[in-house]
C-alpha cells in the first residue's frame, strides 16, 4: 500500500494550527527538513500529515531494519516529518513556522545573490566561482523549502528562474522538471508550478535539440495527475500546449494512447479537447508536408476522422447522456462536412472526393438521422440520463442543420420534419419548451428569409 494514502494533499494557505516553536527550534526544523531532502533525492511525493497520523504511518510501513524510526523529531521530541520509500510527510503543526523560517532564509540568499552580481556588473571583475556556486545553491535550496510548503509563492519560482537563466545547464533544467513534479504531487492544480514547467521546456527547446522524450514524459505526467485530480484544467491545458512540440508520429501515438483513458472518462471534456488538438496537429503536419512519416503511421486524414466518428458513436450508445461525447461529435462532424463532403478545403487534391460528394453527403445525413432516432427513445421507467441523451441528440441535430450547405440543409429538414424534432425536445425537457420554440423558429425563419431574398437559393429552384 502506498505510504501516503492517508496524507492530505493541500496547498498551504496559512490556516493550519502551529505549535509554539521558538527561533532556535525553527532553525532546527528547517535544517532537519533540508537534510531529509538532500539525503533522499528520489522523493516523489509530499503530503501534509496531522500529528496523530504519525503513529499509524509508522505501524503501516515499519522501517526495514526494525530499529530506525521513519519519524523525524525535534530535540524536544516533537514529531515533525515522516520519510520512507521516497515519500515525505510534513506535520501540519509545523507548517507555519517552517514556511516563515524558509522564507526568511530564502530572502536573505536572494539579496546576497543579487548583490554579488550587481557588484560584478559594476566592477567587471569575475568573483570566485566557488562563492558563486555556493550562493546559487543556497537560493535553490531555500526556495525549494518554501515551495514544498507553499506552491504558489511567485517570488520563490522567480528566484529559481534567475539562477537557471544564469546557468542554462541541461542537467539543472531536467532536475527542475523533477522538482516541479514533486510540488505538483501535493498541489496538482498549482498555476505557478505548471507555468514554471512550460518556462523550463521552452528554455530546453530553444537551446537543446532533444525534446521528444521530454514531451512524452510530460504527457504521461499529466495523465497520471489527471487520474487522481479530477477536473484539473490546468494540467490538461499543459498537455494541449505540449502538442505544438510533438512530431506527427508522437501525435498519432498520443491519439491512440489517450483513447483508452478517454473511453474510461467520458464525462471529461478536457480529454476530448486534447484529442481534438492532436487531430488538428496531425492535419496541419500532413497539409504542410513538414516531415515524412514511417509506414507504421501511414494513415489518411479521412480515415482518421472516420475512425474517430465511429468510436465516438460507440461511446454515445454505451454511455447514455454524456454531453462531452456530443460536443466532440460536433467538432468531428463540422470538419467532416467542410473538408470531406463540401469540397471547401485546403487539403491536397488526392484527399478531395468531389465526384462522390453528393452521394457521401446523403450517406452522412442518413447515418446521423439514424443515430438521432436510436438516441431519442425514452423508456417509461428511464433515468434522467435517457432524457439528457434525447436532448443532446436533438440539439446536435439542430446544430447540424445550420452547418450543412444549403441544398443539404433543405434535404435534411425534409427528412427530419421540424415538428417531430420539436415534439422530441419538449418530451425530453419540457421545462425548456420556450427555448426550443425560439430556436426552431429561428431555424425555420432563417431558411425562409434566405429563400425570399436570394432567388438563387436552392429552395427556389427545386
Q: Quick one: cell of 279?
A: 487531430
Give the span between the Cα atoms of 378 and 391, in whole angstroms.
10
pLDDT in tens, the chain (462 residues): 344 544 444 444 444 444 456 565 888 899 999 999 999 999 999 999 988 887 777 666 554 444 345 888 887 778 889 998 899 999 999 999 999 999 999 999 999 998 887 665 544 455 444 446 788 999 999 999 999 999 999 999 999 999 999 888 999 999 999 999 999 999 999 999 999 999 999 999 988 877 899 999 999 999 999 998 888 999 999 999 999 999 999 999 999 999 999 999 999 999 999 999 999 999 888 777 644 444 444 467 888 999 999 999 999 999 999 999 999 999 999 988 887 665 554 554 444 444 455 567 778 888 888 898 888 877 766 667 888 898 898 889 888 877 876 655 566 666 666 556 667 676 767 666 666 666 666 666 555 434 443 444 444 333
Q: Quick one: cell of 175?
A: 532536475
**Rama region for 446: left / alpha / beta (φ>0; ψ in -120 to 50; rest):** alpha
Q: Would residue 186 count as lying in a domain? A: no
Degrees to nearest 5, angle at CA 102 with 10 and 114:
125
Q: Would residue 224 count as lying in a domain? A: no
Give the per-residue pLDDT at 300. 79
- Quick check: pTM over 0.75? yes
Of 333, 342, 320, 330, nearest to 408 by C-alpha is: 342
Q: What is the DSSP string of 424-458?
A: HHHHH-GGGHHHHHHHHHHHHHHHHHHHHH-TTSH
| Axis crossing angle, helix 170-186 with helix 154-167, rounded to the nearest 10 | 160
Distances (CA, A) of 300 to 80, 142, 314: 59, 53, 21
Give the per-residue pLDDT at 148. 97
Q: Would residue 233 count as lying in a domain? A: no
Q: Would residue 250 count as lying in a domain? A: no
Element at 11 (helix H, strand E)? none
The answer to whether the CB of 151 falls within 8 A of the CB of 183 is yes
Give the per-residue pLDDT at 109. 95
Give the per-residue pLDDT at 89. 93
Give the per-residue pLDDT at 149. 95
| Cα Rg, the chain, nearest whole Å | 30
Q: Which of these three, 127, 145, 162, is where a domain ends?
A: 162
Domain range for residue 77? Answer: 1-162
Degrees to nearest 5, angle at CA 417 with 411 and 421:
125
Give the per-residue pLDDT at 443. 61
Q: Which of these three, 162, 183, 210, is where a domain ends?
A: 162
Q: Which of these three, 162, 183, 205, is where a domain ends?
A: 162
Of 109, 127, 108, nearest to 117 by C-alpha is: 127
Give the span between the Cα atoms of 133 and 113, in whole angstroms.
10
The answer to whether the CB of 74 falls within 8 A of the CB of 28 is yes
Q: CB neighbours of 146 closer than 8 A, spacing ≥ 6?
A: 99, 102, 103, 106, 153, 156
Q: Quick one: cell of 89?
A: 510527510
Q: What is the DSSP string of 234-267?
A: HHHHHHHHHGGG--HHHHHHHHHHHHHHHHH-TT
Give the span between the Cα atoms of 146 and 37, in whole angstroms.
13
292 burial level (CB within 10 Å; 0-12, 13-18, 19+): exposed
Q: Would residue 431 count as lying in a domain? A: yes
Q: Would residue 419 count as lying in a domain? A: yes
Q: Would residue 251 count as lying in a domain? A: no
Structural domains counted in the chain: 2
Give the span between the Cα atoms of 114 and 72, in whole angstroms.
35
Give the per-residue pLDDT at 373. 83
Of 222, 163, 223, nearest to 193 by C-alpha is: 222
Q: Would residue 135 count as lying in a domain? A: yes
Q: CB neighbours of 302 closer than 8 A, spacing ≥ 6?
A: 340, 351
Q: CB neighbours of 418 closer than 8 A, spacing ≥ 6?
A: 440, 443, 444
Amino acid at each position: 500500500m502506498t505510504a501516503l494514502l492517508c496524507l492530505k494533499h493541500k496547498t498551504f494557505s496559512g490556516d493550519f494550527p502551529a505549535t509554539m516553536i521558538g527561533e532556535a527550534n525553527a532553525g532546527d526544523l528547517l535544517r532537519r527538513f533540508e537534510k531529509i531532502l538532500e539525503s533522499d533525492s528520489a522523493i516523489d511525493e509530499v503530503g501534509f500529515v496531522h500529528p496523530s497520523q504519525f503513529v499509524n504511518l509508522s505501524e503501516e510501513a515499519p522501517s526495514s531494519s526494525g530499529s530506525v524510526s521513519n519519524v523525524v523529531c525535534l530535540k524536544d521530541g516533537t514529531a515533525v516529518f515522516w520519510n520512507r520509500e521516497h515519500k515525505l510527510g510534513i506535520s501540519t503543526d509545523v507548517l507555519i513556522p517552517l514556511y516563515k523560517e524558509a522564507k526568511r532564509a530564502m530572502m536573505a540568499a536572494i539579496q546576497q545573490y543579487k548583490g554579488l552580481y550587481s557588484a560584478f556588473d559594476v566592477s567587471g571583475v569575475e568573483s570566485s566561482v566557488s562563492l558563486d556556486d555556493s550562493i546559487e545553491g543556497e537560493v535553490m535550496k531555500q526556495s525549494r523549502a518554501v515551495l514544498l510548503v507553499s506552491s504558489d509563492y511567485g517570488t520563490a519560482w522567480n528566484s529559481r528562474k534567475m539562477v537557471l537563466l544564469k546557468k542554462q545547464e541541461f542537467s539543472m533544467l531536467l532536475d527542475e522538471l523533477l522538482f516541479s513534479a514533486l510540488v505538483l504531487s501535493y498541489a496538482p492544480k498549482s498555476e505557478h508550478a505548471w507555468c514554471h514547467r512550460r518556462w523550463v521546456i521552452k528554455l530546453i527547446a530553444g537551446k537543446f535539440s532533444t525534446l521528444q522524450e521530454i514531451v512524452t514524459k510530460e504527457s504521461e505526467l499529466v495523465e497520471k495527475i489527471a487520474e487522481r485530480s479530477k477536473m484539473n484544467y490546468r494540467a490538461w491545458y499543459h498537455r494541449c500546449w505540449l502538442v505544438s512540440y510533438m512530431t506527427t508520429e508522437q501525435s498519432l501515438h498520443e491519439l491512440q494512447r489517450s483513447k483508452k483513458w478517454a473511453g474510461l472518462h467520458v464525462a471529461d471534456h478536457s480529454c476530448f479537447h486534447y484529442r481534438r488538438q492532436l487531430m488538428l496537429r496531425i492535419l496541419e503536419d500532413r497539409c504542410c508536408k513538414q516531415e515524412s512519416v514511417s509506414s507504421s503511421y501511414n494513415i489518411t486524414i479521412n480515415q482518421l476522422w472516420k475512425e474517430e466518428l465511429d468510436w465516438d458513436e460507440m461511446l454515445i450508445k454505451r454511455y447514455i447522456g454524456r454531453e462531452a461525447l456530443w460536443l466532440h461529435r460536433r467538432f468531428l462532424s463540422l470538419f467532416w462536412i467542410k473538408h470531406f463532403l463540401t469540397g471547401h478545403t485546403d487539403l491536397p487534391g488526392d484527399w478531395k472526393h468531389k465526384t462522390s460528394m453528393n452521394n457521401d453527403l446523403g450517406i452522412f445525413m442518413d447515418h446521423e438521422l439514424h443515430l438521432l432516432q436510436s438516441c431519442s427513445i425514452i423508456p417509461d421507467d428511464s433515468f434522467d440520463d435517457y432524457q439528457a441523451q434525447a436532448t443532446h441528440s436533438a440539439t446536435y441535430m439542430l446544430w447540424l442543420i445550420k452547418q450543412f450547405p444549403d441544398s443539404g440543409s433543405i434535404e435534411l429538414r425534409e427528412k427530419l420534419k421540424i415538428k417531430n424534432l420539436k415534439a422530441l425536445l419538449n418530451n425530453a425537457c419540457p421545462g425548456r419548451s420556450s427555448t426550443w420554440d425560439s430556436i426552431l423558429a429561428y431555424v425555420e425563419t432563417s431558411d425562409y428569409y434566405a429563400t425570399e431574398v436570394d432567388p438563387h437559393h436552392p429552395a427556389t429552384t427545386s
